[in-house]
Amino acid sequence: MAPGSQAGPPVILLLLFFLLHASALEPMEVRVGVAVVLPCSAPLQMDLENLVLEWTREDLRDTYMFFFRDGRPYLQYQDPLFKDRVELQDPDMKVSLCSTFERERKREE
């Protein structure tokens, strides 16, 4: 690297586990400090009122990145690392979109 130049923000590998009837592992590369949409959708015919949405990671034991049940988020179950940074991309969940939006990705994530 040339003197005085800086490397771009480090790219980290984000491993997400989301549960929507079945577990799925979806690796993503995300830059530190950049907002990211964590994609998730439900079948169109699914009753979203009874939807349970759990965004978590392997290292989170008793907390979640985001937890949604009974038509509302349960922020008391949200890990402090994600407080005020992760929310539903579409709170009304129109067209069965259940994606979450995370602001300001941190290096430790």
Residue 77 confidence (pLDDT):
93
Residue 2 confidence (pLDDT):
43
Topology annotation, domain 11-102: Immunoglobulin-like (2.60.40)
pLDDT tens-digit profile of 37-56? 777 766 666 666 777 888 88
> What value does the mean pLDDT take over residues 17-23?
37
Residue 60 confidence (pLDDT):
85
Whole-prediction pTM: 0.59
- What single DSSP character describes residue 78? B
Task: Judge contact between 53 and 33, C-beta under 8 A.
Answer: no
> What value does the mean pLDDT take over residues 51-64?
83
pLDDT tens-digit profile of 64-102? 888 888 888 899 999 998 888 888 777 666 654 555 655
Task: Judge contact between 88 and 99, C-beta under 8 A.
Answer: yes
What's the CA angle centered on 52, arms 48 and 58, to 5 degrees? 145
When pLDDT is cut at 50, 70 and 90, the band that residue 19 belongs to is very low
Per-domain residue ranges for the chain?
A: 11-102
Task: Outline where the chain has alpha helix (H).
Answer: none
